[in-house]
Amino acid sequence: MNQFIITIGRQLGSGGLRIANLLAQHYGITAYDRKVIEMAAQESGLSAEFFENADEKKWHGFFHAIFSNRAAANALGSNENYLSNDALFKIQSDTIRDLAERESCIFVGRCADYILRDHPCHINLFFTADLADRVARIAEEKGISEEKAAEFIEKTDRRRADYYNYYSGKTWGAAESYDLCINTSHLGIEGTVEILKKYIELRVKN
């Protein structure tokens, strides 16, 4: 197959990361999630803590950008040299672009679909699932009650939406923002992966 990039947006509990890993295993490529933060930190010479503070948290706005990264800088003994969330996003974006130039791979979150919007073979996916399935999955994964899981899902999805909308200028989860949106409740994780294999192979051939 020719080189290709898959970017994945997902509601919490929809199985998006699991699907990414299964597709990566099938094609013999890498699925990048939080590893992008580690790589951006290593390549920039900054602590990963700076990127962790800025990660999908732009919704807190200007003052959060200042104080969260100032706190990180203080912890590292550098009171003056802290960066804005926008600067950290640019560093992370450069890491994503560099990876996409070198290899076929999958990116989960990070606004990668927007960052790589001009890539010649970019497949942009979004996963949702029925709320009951999402709640049950998160409750089991984290060992918490379904009530707590529902609260966590709502908070996390709101955070992801605000981050994505701010940086991309598009609407997180809206069909027009993606090539393909799938409800994983209908076919399950493995069934969704089988459908995606056919879709991806047709896209890459064309």
Residue 79 has pLDDT above 50, yes or no: no
Residue 82 has pLDDT above 60, yes or no: no
pLDDT value, residue 48:
65
pLDDT value, residue 43:
77
**For residue 110, is it left (φ>0), alpha (ψ between -120 and 50) or beta?**
left
pLDDT value, residue 70:
41
Confidence class of residue 115 from pLDDT cuts 50, 70 and 90? very high
pLDDT value, residue 63:
35
Residue 1 has pLDDT above 70, yes or no: no
Q: Residue 115's CB: how many other CB atoms inside 10 A?
A: 23
Residue 101 has pLDDT above 70, yes or no: yes
Lowest mean pLDDT among 56-65, 91-100, 134-143: 56-65
pLDDT value, residue 193:
98
Q: 5-205 belongs to which CATH class? A: alpha beta
pLDDT value, residue 42:
79
pLDDT value, residue 74:
44
Measured CA angle at 57 (ends 113, 189), to 5 deg: 50
Closest CA to 196 of 11, 33, 16, 35: 16
Q: Which tokens hold the place of 152?
A: 């966590």
Residue, of 189 and 71, whose pLDDT is higher: 189
Q: What length does the chain have?
A: 206
Residue 81 has pLDDT above 50, yes or no: no
Q: Are 88 and 54 in contact (CB under 8 A)?
A: yes
pLDDT value, residue 88:
82
pLDDT tens, residue by residue, 35-46: 888 888 777 777
134-156 exposure pattern, b = at least 16 Cβ within 10 A, e = fewer: bbebbbeeeeeeeeebbebbeee
Lowest mean pLDDT among 78-87, 100-109, 194-203: 78-87
What's the mean pLDDT when you consider all of the chain?
Answer: 85
Q: Using CA atoms, how far apart are residues 45 and 78, in angstroms rounded to an integer?
A: 14
